[in-house]
Amino acid sequence: MKILIVISIILFSFLTLAHQDFTVTKKFGNITTMIKTGYQYEEIKKVEIIGQLAQVLSKKFKYKKPIFLDFIHEYTGNEGNRYFLSFDDGEKFSSSVLFGKRKETSDKKKKLESKVVIRAFADNFEIINVLKLLEYAIKNDKGIESRQSEIEHSTKFITWILKSISKKNIKNILKKENSSILNKVINNKIDRPRSSYYELRYYWQNDEFYVVNREDIILALYNIYNFKRLGTATFIFDEENSFYFIDNSSLETKVSKKQIINNNDNSGPPIIKYIGNEKYIINFRSMFVGKDRILLYLKDKDMLIQDLEKIISPK
């Protein structure tokens, strides 16, 4: 009974959380990255990795002009990765029923100058494809402007007005094999920031994410959707519907089996809380009020109990 009361209180606090999209902008030398998203997804860290790799690639070609990498995170549903490449001031316009027409820019404080601009609309950003486009843009920046045109790109809720070279041209660029220079760039290890040597961490290299405890690789994953540290425990979601639990409380790091979440169609990375007795609450929020989903992970049994809210408030 006690645990059900605790879970009910936590569930109520989850349902009262507000939500609003936001942008995160970072600079890496001549590279500016910006991501627009709705929650603290791990895609924010992935964009930082892309920014660092883009800086390495830029240095390889001794390219010192500004570059703007613009990422629109389509976290409400995966419509596939769409890319746009232009040479302009980085401005774009959005049009929606809710907000009307609005201008968005790479830097509101400075007078904008023309630069290489790469935009990616995706749920899961593809690091190597962005770098392929950047390599092409660095080699051909003088010819891009004459071949671009203003286009409209519609997503679920917004129509974007921006400039780009043709879809066919972009498709042909992405189909090509990696150059020798690009292969050298992606062989670099790029770390996710951490505050302590003893924290669990990961790095990206050659299109894989390696989860590391001190210097030992304990997991190799194609993707990291969410990375949540809770003391000596870490939840690593490789997709929205699956995760690993890492126990780093002793000298021997323990990795759970891959836990699969059934029929998960909620949006946003989960909120995870430790409630005592080696039990963790996992809450997936929904864009629609009253549709949140609660799961319970039992560390000692490596067991996931799904749809806990139905047990608390059965119909």
Orientation angle between helical segments 167-175 and 127-147, nearest 10 degrees: 140
DSSP 3-state of 112: coil
Cα separation, 201 vs 214, in Å, equals: 8
Please check the confidence at residue 296 and state whether its pLDDT lies above 90: yes
pLDDT, position 160: 82
**First and final C-alpha spacing in the chain:** 19
**pLDDT at res. 270:** 87
Give 73: exposed, middle or buried? Use CB within 10 Å, 0-12, 13-18, 19+. buried
| CA-CA-CA-CA torsion sign (104, 107, 111, 115) | negative
Q: How confident is the model at residue 312 (pLDDT cuts 50, 70, 90)?
A: low
**Contact call for residues 92 and 104 (beta carbons, < 8 A):** yes
Mean pLDDT of 214-243: 92
Higher pLDDT, 283 or 53: 53
Choose among 243, 31, 11: nearest CA to 116. 31
pTM of the model: 0.86
Judge whether residue 98 has pLDDT over 90.
no
Cα gap 257→35, rounded to integer Å: 32
Q: Give the pLDDT band (50/70/90) at residue 96.
A: low
How confident is the model at residue 158, as a pLDDT? Answer: 77
**Pairing mode of beta strands 115-122, 149-154:** unpaired
Residue 28 confidence class, pLDDT cut points 50, 70, 90: very high
Match 């000298």 to its residue by tokens: 251
pLDDT at position 266, please? 61
- AA identity, residue 63: Y
Hey, what amino acid is at 111?
K
Indicate the average pLDDT of the chain: 84
Q: Which DSSP state fits 193?
A: P
Q: Report d(CA 5, CA 189) in Å as an integer.
A: 46
pLDDT of 1 higher than 50? no
Q: Read off the tokens for 195.
A: 């505050």
**pLDDT tens digits, one per residue of 42-95:** 999 999 999 999 999 999 999 999 999 999 998 877 677 899 999 988 776 665
How far is it, in rounded angstroms, from Cα 169 to Cα 301?
A: 53
